[in-house]
Amino acid sequence: MVVLLCNPDLSWSQTEPDAIKLEENKFQEYFYEALKQKAIENYDKAIVALERCLKLDANNATIYHELGKNYFAQKDYKNAYASFEKANTIDPKNKWFLIGMYDIDYATKNYADAVKVIEKLIPFDAKFKEDLTSLYMNTGEFDKALLLINELNETVGKSERRENYKLQILSQGKHQDTEITNLVEQINKYPKLEENYIALIYLYSKKDNLEKVLETARKLEKEIPNSEWAQVSLFKNYLVANESDKAVKAMNIVLGSTKIDSKIKHRIFNEFLIYVNTHPELTPDLDKAIAYFEEDSSVNVGKEIGKYYHTKKQWDKAEKYYQIGLSKTATPDIESSLLLLEVYTQLEKYDKMAKVAGDMVELYPVQPQFYYYAGLANNQLKQYKKAKEMLETGMDYVVEDITLEINYNIQLGEAYNGLGDNYKKAVYFSKAEALLKKQK
């Protein structure tokens, strides 16, 4: 018995389990103390307790993870990151240690490092790809973002956030070609999915590539004949085949659509206008179509139709559509009014000319053209005194316009001729003749 007690090796082997148990008890005591202190936001005390744990177990990943959380709560990002990184080194298969590192990168806006961490997290859970799209947006890696967005759209479906990112990326023209390639691929894979055709048509429209717009619309028509966008292609086919009723129906669907770009609508309308020139029986349908553009402030359709007929010297039609165009504006614009007055000259409608020109003089008192047309009309109506007054007033506003000055002098000569003043008649006709020679 004495010999046994004196054997040092045997004595140690008997007491070691108690020492280990004591250390385990201390470790648990420190660890629970750390959790308790963290719960009441005493992060400094929690950190002290965790450091005591590390003295007992220097390679415990859980303790480093807890240290990271406490440092993070204190916004001590440097020590927090080092703690999470140490935990990850010890146990690289635990995703929560990487998540801790990612949270710090994001909080400190270190998006480039966050990308590296997220790429390590994705093998644990593919849902982290959503975070990666946001990181790419923050790092300005729009090409990578667009590719990832398209991948996620196809694999998990679209989301509002990703669609907003996509709009932001595509607002920069240099990325549109990438998206066009993607959409063409998507259409080939899923030919019955209308939204891809519409998105592709929109991009081609932004590039003013109307031929590609029509080509895409024709593909859409083939796959989804009931689509509003398909009517763009069908309309063209109906015109070529002289199927007027079907063309009108297709046009009205396109013009009434809230999905179709205004550029396409104007293209359709202009093609119909040209068609109506050889099919005048469709003029009522043309007039009805104008109503679709009432809220479109970018172009006055009535005015543009008037110009079309004006160039063809179809004065009656030009008059009609100029009047429609003018009726759509609160205040008559100068160009439309001058064009209408020119048409009245060709039609010799001097009563209407005098009325319009007189009204425009009131609205635009320094525009000499309106005084001229008022003088011309009143001369033709034998209202010579009124013509003289208008012309003499307007002459003061003629600046560096020899042609207009010549016409003014001719009309003043006519006015004085009507008033029986042969002297002034000769003066103004002479001035006109001199200016004509100067002009040559």
pLDDT digits (tens, 9 = 90+) for 40-73: 999 999 999 999 999 998 999 999 999 999 999 9
Does 361 map to a domain? yes
> Could you give the CA distance from residue 438 to residue 433 in angstroms, rounded to a whole number?
9
Angle (nearest 5°) at CA 258 between 257 and 263:
80
Q: Describe the chain by its helix, strand, coil percentages, rounded to 5.
A: 80, 0, 20
Boundary-marking domain end, from 110, 125, 140: 125
Tell me what pLDDT residue 10 has.
33
Residue that finishes a domain, picked among 125, 140, 155: 125
In this prediction, residues 100-121 reach a mean pLDDT of: 93
Q: Is residue 137 part of a domain?
A: no
Residue 337 covered by a domain: no
Last residue of a domain, one of 92, 125, 158: 125
Return the HEC string of 7-19.
Answer: CHHHHHHHHHHHH
Q: Is 110 within a domain?
A: yes
Answer for the pair 403, 373: CB distance below 8 angstroms, yes or no: no
Query: Where in the sequence is the domain holding 375, given as residue range(s)?
Result: 348-440
Query: Does residue 59 sit within a domain?
Result: yes
Mind listing the pLDDT tens digit for each residue in 308-333? 999 999 999 999 999 999 988 888 99
Tokens of 58: 């220097």
Q: Read off the tokens for 284.
A: 């009522």
Helices 283-290/301-311 angle, 10° precision = 140
pLDDT at 17: 55
Residue 21 has pLDDT above 60, yes or no: no
Q: What DSSP designation does 293 have?
A: G
Angle, alpha carbons 14-20-25 (nearest 5°): 135
- Check which CATH number belongs to the domain holding 422 and give it: 1.25.40.10
pLDDT band at 18 (very low <50, low <70, confident <90, very high): low
For residues 238-245, give the mean pLDDT: 91
409/402 Cα distance (integer angstroms): 11
Question: 117 in a domain, yes or no?
Answer: yes
Q: Which amino acid is at 309?
A: Y
Q: Specify which of 11-15, 164-168, 218-222 reaches the highest per-range mean pLDDT.
A: 218-222
Number of domains in the chain: 2
Q: Is residue 33 part of a domain?
A: yes
pLDDT: which is higher, 201 or 206: 201
Q: Is the pLDDT of residue 403 over 80?
A: yes
Classify residue 196: in a domain, yes or no. Answer: no
Instruction: Give the pLDDT confidence of 285-302 residue by residue, as tens digits.
Output: 999 999 898 888 788 999
Average pLDDT, the chain: 88
Residues 6+ apart with CB under 8 A from 390: 361, 371, 374, 375, 378
At residue 99, the 3 state secondary structure works out as helix
DSSP string across 149-217: HHHHHHHT---HHHHHHHHHHHTSGGGHHHHHHHHHHHHHH-TT-HHHHHHHHHHHHHTT-HHHHHHHH
> What is the per-residue pLDDT for 22?
62
pTM of the model: 0.56
Answer yes or no: is pLDDT of 235 > 70: yes
Q: Which position has the token pair 């250390």?
A: 23
Handedness of CA 63, 66, 68, 74 (dihedral sign): negative
pLDDT(2) > 70: no
Least confident among 24-38, 192-206, 314-328, 367-381: 192-206
**∠157-159-160 over CA atoms, to 5°?**
155
Per-residue pLDDT tens digits for 125-184? 999 999 999 998 888 888 888 889 888 988 888 888 888 887 787 777 677 778 888 888
Q: In Å, how far are 65, 236, 276, 285, 409 from 249, measured between CA atoms?
A: 69, 12, 15, 10, 54
Q: Decide: helix, strand or coil at residue 400.
A: coil
At residue 6, the pLDDT reads 32
In this prediction, residue 356 carries a pLDDT of: 96
